[in-house]
Amino acid sequence: MKIVEVNTPSANYQITIGRDLFDMVNIDLFGDYPDVVIVSNTTVFPLYGSQWADYFTQCGKRVYTYQLPDGEEYKTFATAEQVLTFLLKHKLSRKTLLVALGGGVVGDLAGFVATIYLRGIPFIQIPTTLLAQVDSSVGGKVAVNHELGKNMIGAFYQPKAVWTDLDTLRTLDLRERRAGLAEVIKYGIIWDGEFLNFLATKRKDLLLEKEIVTDLFAYVVARCCEIKSEVVSQDEDERGIRAVLNFGHTIGHAIERATNYRVYRHGEAVAIGMVAVCRLAYQLKCFSKSEFEYVKRLVNDFGLPTDCKGISVDEIFNGIFHDKKTVGDKVTFVLPKKLGEVEIVSGIDEGEIKQAIEYVAGT
């Protein structure tokens, strides 16, 4: 078992990483909450929902469950409103603990509901995908999508705890695991070049089709959480350095939106976005050709897409202006300076941006 501490101005909590978490979770975390609501989706709940519901029932809680449809296209205010209606109909009070059981969509949406229901109720994250375990469950970003942009309606609201059971990775298909590894690669590029090289040496073990090397994934998940915790502790509400965690996401989100969230998994779109911004940095002569080619080759070696040929360049370009980091007509990018170090840059020439997008999306 590994423990990662997250300390922010608004809350301190632990990320518990291991196996068989029913034997490890801290019951005191929900001792004051008579009611527990498990929010999951129609894919994850049949795998783990009943087990967790039984666990909370044995702890003396009244347990309610709500299953969302599975898919990024359901991460909307309309879906959140349906969950809110469920809570209101059951007359659930502020002493209700909301449990987000699932991947990034479930965690983001359930956390958003927890933020606004009765002006805030406590929640915990139980992430079941690699992407959620290393990224979206940590740091307190909660949101829903809008037709004009991803995660445009949201807040910063920290969970009471994050419980990461590595056994859930065994039920992921290889494509889903690869999508999570895109975010893992991101951490190496932005913060820890040695970690990036470590990932390259462990690629085959990370991609074993029918096996999860538990100790390896425990280290990888913990290292990613340590990096994110270090960043978030310095800048909880993203007024500065936390923006580095969005590396690859500005273009990645625009790709997702341009394809109606139905072609690429989030991690796949981020992988393409990372290649695009590394290309942009190379064009601007702030990132070497050899390092750019190394990143592109590594992304490809992990079985992730490095381009999105056939997607409209203009649609992707227009989409980046709906990014949360955009101020007026100035798009902010996180650009690599070298492996393990990035900088936050705005006011880049639009022609250079389009050229980088054309590199990944041009026909």
Query: Dihedral, CA atoms, 120, 122, 128, 133, nearest 10 degrees?
Result: 90
The rounded Cα 94 to chain-centroid distance in angstroms is 27
pLDDT (tens digit, 9 = 90+) per residue, 216-243?
Answer: 999 999 999 999 999 999 999 999 999 9
Q: What percent of the chain has pLDDT over 90?
A: 88
pLDDT (tens digit, 9 = 90+) per residue, 100-159?
Answer: 999 999 999 999 999 999 999 999 999 999 999 999 999 999 999 998 889 999 999 999
Average pLDDT in the 245-257 region? 97
Q: What is the pLDDT of residue 265?
A: 96
pLDDT (tens digit, 9 = 90+) per residue, 300-325?
Answer: 999 999 999 999 999 999 999 887 66
Q: What is the pLDDT of residue 236?
A: 97
Nearest to 106 by CA among 80, 140, 138, 139: 80
Q: What is the pLDDT of residue 20?
A: 79
Facing residues of 221 across strands? none
Average pLDDT in the 238-261 region? 96
Q: H/E element holding 128?
A: none
The number of CA neighbours under 13 Å toward the Cβ of 132 is 28
Say if residue 262's pLDDT is above 80. Answer: yes
Distances in Å between the alpha carbon of 146 and those of 104, 152, 207, 255? 16, 6, 34, 15
* Mean pLDDT of the chain, nearest integer: 94
Torsion sign across C-alpha atoms 346, 347, 348, 353: positive
**Integer Cα distance of 28 and 25 in angstroms:** 9
Least confident of 18-22, 90-94, 181-185: 18-22
**Integer Cα distance of 68 and 154 in angstroms:** 18
Q: What is the pLDDT of residue 210?
A: 78
**Integer Cα distance of 143 and 269 in angstroms:** 18
Q: What is the pLDDT of residue 24?
A: 61
What structural domains does the chain harbor?
A: 2-171 (3.40.50.1970), 186-361 (1.20.1090.10)
pLDDT (tens digit, 9 = 90+) per residue, 27-66?
Answer: 666 678 999 999 999 999 999 999 999 989 988 999 999 9
E-strand spans in 136-206?
141-146, 149-156, 162-165
- Residues involved in catalysis: 119, 141, 183, 228, 238, 242, 246, 249, 253, 266
Say if residue 330's pLDDT is above 90. Answer: no
Per the listing, tokens 């196996």 go with: 19
Q: What is the pLDDT of residue 346?
A: 93
